[in-house]
Structure 1
């Protein structure tokens, strides 16, 4: 499988300002695989240390802060080769090893020639704890589930990927590409972007095995909930997690605590929700009160939507059978188009540095699904999962904020088209959003 994060890892290796790397990502998203593959391709040696399988390794970091002594002990116990420059040192499953995390400060200061990459599940939880942490002395990368483009490459559809990457004008996609891309996207909605799930389909075309993989991942996540330090919070995390399909099935997808449990209040459940956010199992999208910069300054902290980290997991958690989606575009429209929205959010997060928001007006009711920041411009986005692409909310948004708008964006099943300041992007081109915005702005000017 080709993962686009490999390019960022190569940049990290070549950087003259290289710091120890911490790779974050949810369980089974491919952290260990990508680091080992990176080491295999670009280094003479890979020295791999797993602190879950070999807990005794932790002692080397507890007894000394001398990095040369730590490395010497690791080499002796594991019989692995470690040299500066030519070895990638991988510290895996470090989420429960605060001394290992803290040691990155000393590797950065005292042994900068060594190439060190760390990974672990629930690292977001570990790093959110108030402890001695090497601020400014490590480099972070986040690995997300596989994108649709990565899915195409894994499925052997290199011609389709090459085509969408080569788009240089805003014009309708020929049927010869439009139809197969639409069909491939339906399959991606079923598999999602978790690498093992994708593998079960692209290599073996085994739907049952793919479904079993997703079920296993969901069960592993639910076991992780018990790792919250407050045992009383565990059932609350589980209740929020299981309520997400119900939250997204509503016309108004604003997160409501009463959907979690009758009578539930924010102050009782907000810590549990924050645990899921810190673990990166869910994405929390705030409502923006106005499309102005800095976008964070206009967040309504009491209004937000919750999406899963992966739409394949959302489909599985919602118990939507993969065999029930052979009927036209039902896959895109199922439970109020929630899968389509989740898909679009996943792609936006990989392309834009600032987390998207959404915009809403109550009386009369209008809602723009997402608001993205691209450099110093904000763009409203609406997601349409069927052939009805009337964008009343985008029209209202333009009326209210005419000076803040360079372009309105709509994702739908329709073809690629620029109509004045309204850019319609087919769902299967979501990975090219940044590129298409750039082309549309040039056409407008």
Structure 2
């Protein structure tokens, strides 16, 4: 497989301001594979230390903060070679190793010639705990599920990848590219972007293997829920996680605790929900009161939507059978288009630094699925799961916020086009949203 994040790792390797690296991402998203593959491609050798497989290595960090002594002990205990500037040192499964995490400060300050990259399951949860953390001494890199583009690359559809990369104007896409991209996107909705699921399809072309892979991942997540320090939170985390398909099946996808359990109150369940957010199993998207900068300053903290980290996991958790693949647009439209929204959100978080928000009003009811902050502009986005592209909410949004609205964006199954200030992007081009918005803004200036 090919992961585009390898390019960012190469930038880190060559940076004169390089610091120890911390990879963050949901369990089984491929963090370990990415680091090992990066070491194989760009270093003379790789020294790999797994603190879950070899817990005795933790002792080397308990008695000293001297980097040279730590490395000498690791070399002697493991038999691996470590050379300055020529070795990628990988510390894996560090989430339960506070002394290892704290040592990154001394690697940064006293041994910058060593290239050190770290990863861990539920690392976001671990870092949320009160402990000594080397603030300012590490670089974070987010690893997300494989994008649709990476799925195409894994499936050896390089002609389609090259075509998407070559788009340099807003003009309709020829059927020779539109139709296969549409069909491939349906398959991506089946597999999602978890590497094991994608591998089952690209290597075996057996849907049952995809189902098994996704089921195993979901079961491993549920097993992780028991790792919450408060055992009373375990059933709450499980209930919230399993309620997500029901939450997204509502016309108004605002998260409601009463959907989790009758009579449930926010204060009883908010810690469990935050655990899922910290573990990066879900995306929490706040309602924005008005599209001003910075967008985070206008969050309505009482209203939010919850999506899964991966569209394939959402499909499997929803128990939507892959046979929907052959039923026209059903995969896109099922339970109020939630799969399509989840997919678009995944594409957006890969491209924009600021987490998307959404906008809504109650009387009369209007809702714009996402708001994205791009530089100093905010763009409203609607996701339409088919070719019915009436955009009443986008129209209302423009009426209310005309001065702030340079461009409105709609994802649908219609072709690529720009109608005045309305940019329609085919769902399969969601990975190119940033580029297409830039092209549309330039085209409107002409």
Identify the TM-score tier after normalising by the shorter chain.
over 0.9
In the alignment, what sits opposite 2:191?
Answer: 191
* 2:354 alignment partner, SS class: coil
1:120-154 Cα deviation digits (max 9, x unpaired): 11000011111110000000001000000000010
In the alignment, what sits opposite 1:244?
Answer: 244
In the alignment, what sits opposite 1:444?
Answer: 444
* 1:354 alignment partner, SS class: coil
In the alignment, what sits opposite 1:123?
Answer: 123
1:404-439 Cα deviation digits (max 9, x unpaired): 011000000000000000000000000000000000
Displaced runs of 4 or more, over 6 A: none
Q: Is the 8 A contact 2:187 2:325 kept in 1?
A: no
What is the alpha-carbon distance in structure 2 between the residues aligned to residue 397 and residue 203 of structure 1? Answer: 46
**Aligned residues: CA RMSD:** 0.5
In the alignment, what sits opposite 2:313?
Answer: 313
In the alignment, what sits opposite 1:412?
Answer: 412
Q: Give 1:210 shift.
A: 1.1
Q: Give 1:202 shift.
A: 1.0
In the alignment, what sits opposite 1:427?
Answer: 427
Q: Give 1:325 shift.
A: 2.6
Q: Is the 8 A contact 2:47 2:87 kept in 1?
A: yes
1:21 to 2:21 alignment: yes
In the alignment, what sits opposite 2:152?
Answer: 152
Structure 2 length as normaliser, TM-score? 0.99
In the alignment, what sits opposite 1:11?
Answer: 11
In the alignment, what sits opposite 1:64?
Answer: 64
What is the alpha-carbon distance in structure 1 between the residues aligned to residue 405 and residue 321 of structure 2? Answer: 41
Unmatched 5+ stretches in structure 1: none
In the alignment, what sits opposite 1:212?
Answer: 212
1:284 to 2:284 alignment: yes
Unmatched 5+ stretches in structure 2: none
What is the alpha-carbon distance in structure 2 between the residues aligned to residue 71 and residue 79 of structure 1? Answer: 11
What is the alpha-carbon distance in structure 2 between the residues aligned to residue 319 and residue 346 of structure 1? Answer: 20
What is the alpha-carbon distance in structure 2 between the residues aligned to residue 133 and residue 306 of structure 1? Answer: 29
What is the alpha-carbon distance in structure 2 between the residues aligned to residue 268 and residue 425 of structure 1? Answer: 41
Q: What is the correspondence of 1:72-83 to structure 2 with a 5 Å cutoff?
A: 72-83=72-83
Q: Which moved more, 1:200-209 or 1:189-198?
A: 200-209
- How many residue pairs were aligned? 445
What is the alpha-carbon distance in structure 1 between the residues aligned to residue 187 and residue 325 of structure 2? Answer: 9
1:273-293 Cα deviation digits (max 9, x unpaired): 000000000000000000000
In the alignment, what sits opposite 1:233?
Answer: 233
